[in-house]
Chains A and B, each alone.
Chain A
Amino acid sequence: DGGITQSPKYLFRKEGQNVTLSCEQNLNHDAMYWYRQDPGQGLRLIYYSQIVNDFQKGDIAEGYSVSREKKESFPLTVTSAQKNPTAFYLCASGWTIENSPLHFGNGTRLTVT
């Protein structure tokens, strides 16, 4: 079945440690996205990528980094510079045509203590 896989579902880290969230898609989509979801704030865009080896900052990129070495994969690293990393993280992919909806993974809940 085609889809987007995020792993792990729950992740716990100590403050000061970097952590990488995995996102893989087999939908052959060109574009991939990372969103952060906090209560009462909806989804906010962290980074996105339209093609391999290229990505752009979203609205809240500080403290995060990404790579896009393969079309299928778009990992997100939450660095120690991110001041409030505890959140729910959603990965999405889609076509670059304008009315194309995004397809989402099941998310990763990151807790940093």
Chain B
Amino acid sequence: AQTVTQSQPEMSVQEAETVTLSCTYDTSESDYYLFWYKQPPSRQMILVIRQEAYKQQNATENRFSVNFQKAAKSFSLKISDSQLGDAAMYFCAYRRPNGNKLVFGAGTILRVKS
């Protein structure tokens, strides 16, 4: 079974600085899909970024980018120029080909200091 591990229960970052959230996963598949979701205090789950494993280029969405290391099975999220609104729980998720579900990590709480 696939597993997703987020080893940082909590992280803090100063406003305007950069922070990286870690995620590793375990799979025997060669093709799959990875996602980062944000859950602010409202508890609404919001898609931040997605990555297809067959693409070598790292995905980028404005201030959010990933470092996808397929051989190491690592999928970290980098947030640049952190803003107060970035404070939330962040979840890494995995979806296998022909898979019908997302497997989530335990989440990382990100605190942003002004």
Contact = CB atoms under 8 A, between A and B. Distances in A.
A5 B103 CA distance: 22
A104 B91 CA distance: 13
Nearest to A94: B102
Contact of A98 (B9, B43, B44, B99): B99
A98 B101 contact: no
B104 A101 contact: no
B43 A106 contact: yes
Interface core residue of A35, A41, A102 (most chain B CB under 10 Å):
A102
Contacts of B9: 40
A37 B102 CA distance: 14
Contact of B101 (A33, A88, A99, A106): A33
Contacts of A96: 100
B11 interface: no
A40 B9 CA distance: 8
A106 B102 CA distance: 18
A43 interface: yes
A56 B42 CA distance: 29
B50 A99 contact: yes
B100 A101 contact: no
A64 interface: no
A26 B44 CA distance: 17
A42 B44 contact: no
Interface of B: 4, 6, 9, 33, 35, 42-45, 47, 50, 52, 91, 95, 97-107
Given A42-B105, A98-B98, A106-B42, 16 more contacts: A33-B101, A42-B6, A42-B91, A43-B102, A43-B104, A44-B104, A45-B101, A88-B43, A90-B45, A98-B97, A99-B33, A99-B52, A101-B47, A101-B50, A102-B47, A106-B44
Interface of A: 31, 33, 35, 40-45, 48, 50, 56, 58, 88, 90, 92, 96, 98-99, 101-102, 104, 106-107
Q: Which 9 A-B pairs have the closest CB atoms?
A: A104-B45, A42-B104, A43-B104, A42-B106, A101-B47, A99-B33, A107-B43, A45-B101, A42-B107
